[in-house]
Chains A and B, each alone.
Chain A
Amino acid sequence: MSFIRNPKDFWAGVLFIAFGLAAVIIARDYALGTAGRMGPGYFPRGLGIIMIALGLILSLRAVRMTGPRIQFGSFKPLLIVLGSVIVFAMAAPRLGLIVATILLIVISSTASHEFRLKEALISSVALAAFTLAAFVYGLKLQLPTWPWFIQ
């Protein structure tokens, strides 16, 4: 798409417009009220409109002014890091903190270009022990510690 001279600004504008539109559309059902007696829809709808306006300025300007391209690089770190967090969130309530810790550390470690399996395993066990000592016994967090079938 060659008419976009400043992709960073253009897509930031698109993002703003999308958020603004979503805000306005969802707020359709909220009572607007008047300025003197504001309903719950007044402030959010106003913000949504400002958001759309700012997005339009950014995107339209990006067609005229040139800017650097977006550097995406590898998507591996994004997917692995956030994937490991989601695995942690799925595991923690049922399998407990210790298992969730080991899963999080081992999975997230693979995102580094210097990943070594043995090292990651050792580190996961050490951090699981630290979690047990600091969070479970030290700070006494009331979170499930062990898998449900052990307790």
Chain B
Amino acid sequence: MELITNLGIGFGVALTLQNLFYCFGGVLLGTLIGVLPGIGPVPTIAMLLPITYALPPVSALIMLAGIYYGAQYGGSTTAILVNLPGEASSVVTCLDGYQMARQGKAGKALAIAAIGSFIAGTFATLLVAAFAPPLAEVALKFGPAEYFSLMVLGLIAAVVLASGSLVKAIGMIVLGLLLGIIGTDVNSGLQRYSFGIAELSDGIGFVVVAMGLFGFAEIIVNLERTEHREVFTNKVSGLMLKWSEFKEALPAIIRGTGIGSVLGILPGGGALLGAFAAYTVEKRIAKDPSRFGKGAIQGVAGPESANNAGAQTSFIPMLTLGIPPNAVMALMVGAMTIHSIQPGPQVMTSNPQLFWGLIVSMWIGNVMLVILNLPMIGIWVKLLQVPYRLLYPAILLFCCIGVYSIQNNVFDVYLTALFGVLGWLFVKLECEPAPLLLGFILGPMMEENLRRALLLSRGDWTVFATRPISAVMLGMAVILLLIIVAPSIRKKREEAFQEG
């Protein structure tokens, strides 16, 4: 069995003392920051990214993956205890999780979230290990035309599956692509959109964009709200579930894992879509749907399993095609580039240690999540008691030092502030910033593949339609767009995002 040999390589890498340490450190730091209200995985990863610069590439990616799971789980803890989702995918966890907390069952909600996440994580890791190699095999045959069409499909699918206005989302992608162009053109050596500023000749750092749009803007918007929230921190006890409760939740965990795994692979899906879909399914098939929103254990188990499964399987397109399906994976691609690894199908063959080490460490990270979170829940709860007025200046500080330290240059800090203004404006105008980040990361790749494809075809645009794989992908993108524009489906889509 090739799979077992490969997993063997992976365990060999992931179980070294050094990598175990970084995996643990990542999960711990990720949970620590992720548990803070109002900070989702994207700013958490952006904030902690500079720590990993000095590490060897494998350890850096293992740590970043750990940070991601930690942040995700930390966000669920906050959702359950404070009713304040750190990110969109824990919005649904708030619904029943917070109600369970109000009924004094906070411990049980946290326990089922951890157990569900673990089961889902284990299954999804196996899925990644099984499906990544054949997919990478196919992707190796792709030429520039196929790659360009794949990126178009990926970006279109990402906006179709996300919530909000379609035109705005596409506009945000194009804006991201434009921002990605800033800097020196690799082919002509020309400085584009750099306004003669030396710091811009290497382009804008993706940490700057992510931190400004997600981190700073989030803090500002949170400060504009003044309502008070009730924190259920003294009532966290009784982590042990009754067997009957576990039996009640298990089918929801299994369904959530399945839904999350499938939806996680899709562009734009990631953790978010799975969580929403799992909640909707649980509510629909429940014997008594009226219990949902009032503390139904399935309403926590399903979405929590789904978001963890989705978080895991969203690594598949990133690892095999080099195309990030969501904002978190876009950051991962950026991180790989910093360590001079070009993500794509060749990573698996050229760097099997990294590839399989990362996959196995995903599972180890999940084990650590359970070990870390259940006994240490008291510490996270203490963190939640820190009032926001003390918290946000500290977050701001870590963002500033993080950005400043990337190139030892304060220019990046000013630039982040500028993106903070832009991010705040986007919130006011209801423009989702995630598609912008995707476009920003894919911009240079897209231009390069477009250029190469048309160079090979001598300027003939029909190459995208005559090469079969490329044609199929562009066809799918068009169909997706048509479907979403059709009024009946548009209405259904709005309803789906209204749930929760």
Which B residues between 424 and 450 are near A, CB-CB below 8 angstroms? 424-425, 428-431, 447, 450
* A12 on the B face (CB < 8 A): yes
* B394 on the A face (CB < 8 A): yes
- What is the CB-to-nearest-CB distance from A96 to chain B, in angstroms, rounded to a whole number? 12
* A135 on the B face (CB < 8 A): yes
* B231 on the A face (CB < 8 A): no
* B496 on the A face (CB < 8 A): no
Taken together as a complex, chains A and B put the C-alpha atoms of A61 and B485 apart, in Å, by 15
Known contacts A54-B170, A114-B389; A85/B188 CB under 8 A: no
Known contacts A85-B417, A92-B404; A108/B455 CB under 8 A: no
- What is the CB-to-nearest-CB distance from B499 to chain A, in angstroms, rounded to a whole number? 20
What total of chain B residues lie within 8 Å of the partner, measured CB to CB? 60
* Contacting residues, chain B, for A9 (C-beta < 8 A): 165, 168, 429
B410–A131 touching, CB < 8 Å: no
* Contacting residues, chain A, for B219 (C-beta < 8 A): 77, 81
The listed residue (A26, A108, A116) touching B193 by CB distance below 8 A is A26
A contact residues vs B (CB 8 Å cutoff)? 8-9, 11-12, 15-16, 19, 23, 26-27, 30-31, 34-40, 42-44, 47-48, 50-51, 54-55, 57-58, 61, 70-74, 77-78, 81-82, 84-86, 88-90, 92-93, 97, 101, 104-105, 108-109, 111-116, 119-120, 123-124, 127, 131, 135, 139, 141-143
B175–A89 touching, CB < 8 Å: no
Which B residues between 377 and 410 are near A, CB-CB below 8 angstroms? 387-390, 392-394, 396-397, 400-401, 404-405, 408, 410
Taken together as a complex, chains A and B put the C-alpha atoms of A46 and B428 apart, in Å, by 28
Taken together as a complex, chains A and B put the C-alpha atoms of A34 and B420 apart, in Å, by 37
Taken together as a complex, chains A and B put the C-alpha atoms of A73 and B387 apart, in Å, by 22
B389–A78 touching, CB < 8 Å: no
> Across the two chains, which residue of chain A brings its CB closest to B170?
A54
* Contacting residues, chain B, for A92 (C-beta < 8 A): 404, 410, 413
Taken together as a complex, chains A and B put the C-alpha atoms of A78 and B108 apart, in Å, by 39
B224–A77 touching, CB < 8 Å: yes
23 contacts across the A-B interface (CB closer than 8 A)? A8-B430, A12-B168, A12-B431, A35-B454, A35-B459, A35-B461, A40-B188, A43-B447, A44-B192, A51-B171, A58-B165, A70-B428, A72-B428, A82-B417, A88-B397, A101-B401, A104-B393, A104-B397, A109-B389, A116-B389, A119-B390, A139-B51, A141-B405
* Contacting residues, chain A, for B188 (C-beta < 8 A): 31, 39-40
Which B residues between 64 and 81 are near A, CB-CB below 8 angstroms? none
B401–A84 touching, CB < 8 Å: no
Interface of A is mostly: helix
Known contacts A40-B185, A112-B223; A12/B459 CB under 8 A: no
A115–B389 touching, CB < 8 Å: yes
A82–B216 touching, CB < 8 Å: yes
Known contacts A48-B178, A89-B410; A58/B397 CB under 8 A: no
* Contacting residues, chain B, for A112 (C-beta < 8 A): 223, 388-389, 392
The listed residue (B193, B223, B410, B413) touching A77 by CB distance below 8 A is B223
A85–B216 touching, CB < 8 Å: yes
Known contacts A44-B193, A104-B393; A86/B414 CB under 8 A: yes
* B198 on the A face (CB < 8 A): no
B178–A19 touching, CB < 8 Å: yes
A40–B192 touching, CB < 8 Å: yes
